[in-house]
Structure 1
């Protein structure tokens, strides 16, 4: 009988964006079986069959030869392959069996069969890019052994290789917010942190009401309007989606909305000025001075106006100015229930020969004021982070960029013959 080789190769249809392909092959088979039918001695017809699955079949192997005492045979025949976009399955299942087929004229007659052998192969360790042996598997069966004996040993060696890369992206790990507390009806700027969208045409999608809830926008940064306390979610969405990061933004119907905050040095005093657009449950303000790293001392207190929708202007004056007053100060707002809101500190240097300028707010949305804005103060230029001149308008000490974009800007000022450069951040 002539040798018969049947190789059934089933390939799954490759998805258009598939990046990683795994292939399986039988590299060798072996057996020590002798001819058992006593008819046409030397014609034992050993047969090996195998299949690889990930829930469905990737392909099958069927090998029959006409030989007595076949020993080890090398084939290196790929019999199963599949492409994956996002992840390999947790496990592959390898099934194989071997037997002698002495049917020939009378049809298939199975003898010395191992029965189906099933092996689970974890996919986590499959990362070789050239064909690599997973294992050599063996099983025994009752039958005529070459050289004598009634136990036959069968075996197969399974190999694999992985090519390409998965279309995975890194899930966002957090969300940065311009503020965790927003006045109702005002926007908040949210920026994803830690995510990537480099594979599979991915983008960042934002949701409320859950990770796959109501879609509200796309992009690394969005600025939704906050109408009530809301939890926002973001994830990378494309061929392969990721898990979500989330953040809860609280809102207040009024809150204390600060619209102006600056200081001036005059004679032997530091004069602090600030204004509010509206207030809610505002007990008082504190002026604090830094006395050590992260240590602050209250040097003044100003009563608040409770709850109001009317704009109010506040001021506080620190006398007996000495050189030790040249340091950091900050404004603290205190609710009736004792809750405090700390505003950004700034450095006061009243003893400097150069004029002390305050930019507020900073960061901002493309509009800010300079205090004090003296008559001889000139704004020479405003440039973006790559040095390009940026057009602006100036009105009573208030600067407004024309078509502002988020980024860092550098404002060159001339005052009393001295040139200074101030950094401004636009969100």
Structure 2
């Protein structure tokens, strides 16, 4: 009995020692990888520079502080992705019982990878934690964000999707899960297993909602057709996506509905306020918004049939189950966010109690100026235009549950913050440098 007890105790001591060595070796590898990756936060850091930093740390006897007298190391550096991978190998310490048994007799072999993200501009944050295609571009879509980063919080193995002839191009594409698509669908290749990027606007206070200033507001001709078109197009887009077609514009749904043209168009000046039942803009309506907050309550903001919506220093608060927005194919949209006040920099703010996964559509072929931030924490921003969207904006940022691009749109997300007096909300736009470990 005594020998058995001694063997049991000795085995426990051996396992504790063996596990402690592995934990310490992992901490050492993490530290070395992190120190190396920090070099990428400096201008013009090279792979040789990163190697030299790690070698100097090891030669200084740093490994001994973790209890290791002899460590073999190999370092892999990818400057294009700002990643550093460190592999450490060392023999296990002498044990009492388990030393002659696997895996306790094998060398410890530990790998750690660190990623540097420095001085980046963030222009897309997809908040959905589980969805396939939290950021998606299908068919022939283009998502162009050359000077900023796209962040997807979905841990799905296809958290980011770019398929067909589509292209997602950004300063950095970061997925908390995986990515689907071929090499030609991305530039650069997505960085996988990124840490979750917390909702940067989660602490922004929602606007107060007062009494109704307008009820079922509608301007222009054919407003009933605008609503019908919105429902029909959205239904077909969803059906197309469900069939794996990538959705997209269906010509039969968008032609022949605005034959009225621009002759005789009437201008309407609207004031900020609470628009109960929504706001619909149809043919022959040129709607100009005075600066301020427009609360769209219990109804949609629909613009179609060639209707125009223009506003500088305006913000929309979408409250109520039916409060979505739809910019139809023939609508003309030009909007900029406020430059002062509690909603400075925020163009759309969706109620945080809104139904999940409801869709907001940009189908307009004339929506070149959308300057500000779309904050749709419960909704899906769906873009399916034929001509570029937001390309004439100094900057556009999107914080949404999902961003979906279908058909042939080109969504351009600029980051020329110095070109406008409209501020970027904290957490989007320029953010600080960071280094994180990738599992």
Between 1 and 2, higher relative CO (CA 8 Å, sep ≥ 6) is seen in 2
Q: One fold, TM greater than 0.5?
A: no
- Structure holding more helix per residue: 2
Q: Shorter-chain TM-score: what band?
A: under 0.3
Richer in strand (by share)? 1
Normalising by structure 2, report the TM-score.
Answer: 0.25
